[in-house]
Structure 1
Amino acid sequence: MNAVIEEPVATLTQLSQRRRDALAGTLIGTAVGDALGLPMEGLSARRQQKLFPRPLRHRFLGRYGMVSDDTEHAFMVGQALLESSDDILVFQRGLARRLRWWLIALPAGVGYATLRAILKLWLGLSPARSGVVSAGNGPAMRSALLGVYYASDPVRRHQFVRASAEITHRDVRAEVAALAVAEVGAWMAKRAEDLDALWKSLAELSTVTIWTDMVATLRGAMTNQMSVAEFARRVGAKDGVSGYALQSVPVAIYSALSHRNDFAKAMEEAIACGGDTDTVGAITGALVGARVGPTGIPHTWRQGIAEYPCSPAMLGRVAEKLAQHAEGESASGSLRYLWPISLLRNLVFLFVVLAHALRRSLPPY
């Protein structure tokens, strides 16, 4: 497989390290953005500022953060890639199997479309037929890693993103949003600077008018140096970003591109828009993380995540094995962990979510 970063002056050692940094930054950036945005999910920008005044920090479990389905899906994609040996059908079946057992562990947060699709999997439908018609952001939140892993292979990148998307969603809007996240992820991993080339590749993902218009809106906003909050309002997110893929994904992409070398700034502006803050934060974190690597993510944010199995350490191990696999080394399959602990973890997570719901009913208003 070709190197992820295409710079002829770089040595093979440098290319290998950049690949590892991009993969680790994507996974850890997903977790950090998810954890930072999770306590504020569903709040308007105004209410968010009342309950969670800046500076941005972990607040889910005291001064620690936990992750939601956004990170868990990215983790499952990484695990499925490790056992696939670049076989799309093996990858799709592996991801579908993980999604089935993930639901059995009773996650507190699961989108309605994803829930229906997984139930169809349990009823025996194949992963190619289990998706439901929904323009939700489920496929998009797990596609950045595929973009980074296949950064130098656009054909495989698109094939694997579509294989991932159709397990849960079979709406062209959800698919093109997932493809867009992967496309920007690949661009970030290469540390590219040619935005014109990126706009061209994004526009070529679909001829659907709503998408080509969105690419034009993104391009115009970047040219005019519009703030992330202004861009969110431009795409209809006046009271917070919704779970609609063609709203949440453009906001995340715009924040990531506007602050592509500053993880903290990108995260602050993306989450400040309100609404679906965990997913927007996760996608933004994945994209900027692909560019800056794990060391470009603030140390306190990385160390402040209290999780199992999706800890930054575990995500880093997945990234390392993916890099070995990409370089032709034996990665010996997916990583093992104590799955039953997920049940206990999810009970704790649910309790904390309920505590947050109670807190939101109290002043300040």
Structure 2
Amino acid sequence: MIPSSTFHDRVHGLLAGTAVGDGLGAPFEGRPVVPATALTQWSFSTQRLDHTDDTVMTLVLAEHLSHQGVINQAVLASDFAVAWHHEPLRGYGAGAAQVLASVLGGVSWREAAVSVFSGGSWGNGAAMRVAPVAAVSRSPLEAAHLGRLSAEVTHAHEHGLHGAALQAAAAHLALHSDLSAPLDAAAFLDRLHPVVPSRIWHEKLLEIRALLARQADAEEAAAVLGNDISALGSVPLAVFAFLARGETPEAAFRFAIGGGGDTDTIAAMTGALVGARHGHSELPVSWTTRMEAAEQIKEIATRLVAAPVGT
């Protein structure tokens, strides 16, 4: 059993890690290569770490869960839509904006979720925001289930759902990992395997193992696993960055961004895992003090920790 004070710090870290990764990665989004010198310069800047829709939607989900510890899909869809309407320029993709606008206009979330893309979105938007479910779940499988429920309201495609499930389970494992022992990457991946009943996702997990075995750098990992806006092409890289560099928070963030591509979202997902394992107190202070929403994150973390678990 994790002491309550430690659990609170780790839930706080999960949310803060998302925001830090988002803010650090945002300036490099879309670049195929991120020069180490540019990343170092930005890392040591004192400029505020403004966040994107990644953090906005993560905090919406965390706030939603803080009320009852469960997901009401209709209410959650409305919550997401209201947040988008309030700040539409936070970097939402065109497809996500269309879905949320439909919900706001009175279309049911089930209809809206498949109205833009045939079969629903396969993007990483559901995975990028899903980490808070780890705080109210009792197992990786339960976290994955909650992750799918939260994903369905905007990302109905199987890959959108699988990506959210995998990231949710990874966040649960990170949140409840034993800090007195080194992170066991093989055991971590073993426990992720059952949450994605998909051959192509299982192949990604095997690729992560192979990359870890040969100590691949960020560029090679991105080339093998992907670094784009799809769930299949980004969630595995975030998990790999955590497993490869997660024992040193700063190195994990830099590794996630160094892979290029959808840097804000990949770093946000990596950051959620890093923060969940080490807690807010172990994240670089020079970064957490730059977060745009630092006080809001602290307050929401406190409410999320108080939410019932496994209801």
TM-score of the two chains, using structure 1 as the length reference: 0.76
Q: Is it true that 1:213 corresponds to 2:196 in the alignment?
A: no
Contact 1:169–1:175, Cα closer than 8 Å, also in 2? yes
Partner in structure 2 of residue 224 of structure 1: 214
Code of the residue aligned with 1:65 in structure 2: it is: L
Code of the residue aligned with 2:173 in structure 1: it is: W
Note the 1:1-365 alignment, pairs <5 A: 5=2, 15-45=3-33, 48-49=34-35, 52=38, 54-57=40-43, 63-83=47-67, 85-89=68-72, 92-108=73-89, 109-132=91-114, 133-150=120-137, 152-192=138-178, 193-235=183-225, 237=226, 241-305=227-291, 307=292, 311-326=293-308
Structure 2: how far apart are the matches of 1:147 and 1:49? 33
Distance apart, 1:126 and its partner CA: 2.7
Contact 2:166–2:196, Cα closer than 8 Å, also in 1? no
Structure 2: how far apart are the matches of 1:70 and 1:207? 26
CA deviation profile, 1:293-323 (whole Å, cap 9, x unmatched): 0111111111112x3xxx1121011111211
CA deviation profile, 1:228-250 (whole Å, cap 9, x unmatched): 32211122x4xxx2111111111
Structure 2: how far apart are the matches of 1:153 and 1:170? 23
Higher mean Cα deviation, 72-81 or 183-192? 183-192
Distance apart, 1:134 and its partner CA: 1.8
Contact 2:82–2:104, Cα closer than 8 Å, also in 1? no
Partner of 2:188, secondary structure, is: helix
Partner of 1:245, secondary structure, is: coil
Instruction: List alignment gaps of at least 5 residues for structure 2.
Output: 115-119
Alpha carbons of structure 1 residues 52 and 228: separation in structure 2 relative to 1, 3 Å: closer
Alpha carbons of structure 1 residues 154 and 284: separation in structure 2 relative to 1, 3 Å: closer
Q: Bigger relative contact order, structure 1 or 2, given CA contacts below 8 A and separation 6+?
A: 2
Code of the residue aligned with 1:137 in structure 2: it is: N
Code of the residue aligned with 1:174 in structure 2: it is: G
Alpha carbons of structure 1 residues 212 and 322: separation in structure 2 relative to 1, 3 Å: same
Alpha carbons of structure 1 residues 123 and 107: separation in structure 2 relative to 1, 3 Å: closer
Q: Number of matched residues?
A: 300
Structure 1: how far apart are the matches of 2:44 and 2:104? 36
CA deviation profile, 1:241-296 (whole Å, cap 9, x unmatched): 21111111111110011122211000111111112111111111111000110111
Structure 1: how far apart are the matches of 2:75 and 2:60? 9
Distance apart, 1:50 and its partner CA: 8.6
TM-score of the two chains, using structure 2 as the length reference: 0.89
Contact 2:144–2:164, Cα closer than 8 Å, also in 1? no
Structure 1: how far apart are the matches of 2:123 and 2:281? 31
Structure 2: how far apart are the matches of 1:260 and 1:120? 39
Partner of 1:325, secondary structure, is: coil
- % same residue: 29
Distance apart, 1:24 and its partner CA: 0.2
Q: Post-superposition, which runs of at least 4 consecutive aligned residues in structure 1 deviate over 4 A?
A: none
Higher-Rg structure is 1
Contact 2:241–2:270, Cα closer than 8 Å, also in 1? yes
